Amino acid sequence: MKHLLRSLLSSLRDLTPIVVVVLFFQLVVLQQPIPNAASLLGGMVCVVLGLTFFIYGLEIGLFPIGETLARAFAQKGSVAWLLVFAFCLGFGTTVAEPALIAVAAEAATVAATGGLIENNQQAMSDYANGLRLTVAISVGLAILIGVVRIIKGWPVQWLIIGGYILVVIMTAFAPREIIGIAYDSGGVTTSTITVPLVTALGVGLASAIKGRNPMLDGFGLIAFASLTPIIFVMGYGMLIT
């Protein structure tokens, strides 16, 4: 209960600046009353409670299981199964990412309105699902590459630099309509579900492999998860337009 209470206080602390900013601009700058104040207050309470339980769940569930699985695969010595697990983890967490679902749906709506795809529900659904699957596959491959990097001890900076060089080159050839979506796709993948599990996987794996430093080798998977969706979504745009 003490741990849960600390999480609640931490959530209140983290959300306070947002509330202060909103109230300041609504009451001082716009000089307008807050609409549906009771409803907004109830919503804020739900946000605080939801964030509290989410963080608490990460600390007692997702982080430990991610590290435990990584150590178990490393101790078993099965690289093939470790790579399969890494891909599935990246794919599964990304395809269920709420932020990605929202961005994909919005992108489909805008594409239909702009005449890039047919303006009907089926075409919009296919476009959104194709975008989600493309991003999820790219993140799965990113985590797989990141795990190989940890195993081999490759410097993370060279892989990231090479990836962004490829991004710059692809930007020159990709359709203009897809470039913004591609760059945003790299951001929405590193959100509430993906980051905790992927981070736990990297740290747990680096801790279990002899000669690897968790601080030097355990981090960097999130950078791959942000980079590869940009490449894959621009490639997706080149194929469908």
Judge if pTM exceeds 0.95. Answer: no
Distance CA 231, CA 192 (A): 22
DSSP state of 139: H
- Mean pLDDT value of segment 32-40: 79
Taking the C-alpha atoms of residue 9 and residue 138, their distance in angstroms, rounded to an integer, is 37
User: Nearest 5°: phi and psi at 33?
Assistant: -70, 155
Q: What is the pLDDT of residues 103-154, one digit of tens each?
A: 888 888 888 887 777 888 888 898 889 889 999 999 999 999 998 998 888 8
Domain definitions of the chain by residue range: 1-61, 78-240
Could you report the per-residue pLDDT of 148-206, keeping only the tens digit for each? 998 888 888 899 999 999 999 999 998 888 888 889 888 877 766 677 778 878 888 88
- Render 157-206 in DSSP notation, one character per residue: HHHHHHHHHHHHHHHTTS-HHHHHHHHHHHHHTSSTTHHHHHHHHHHHHH
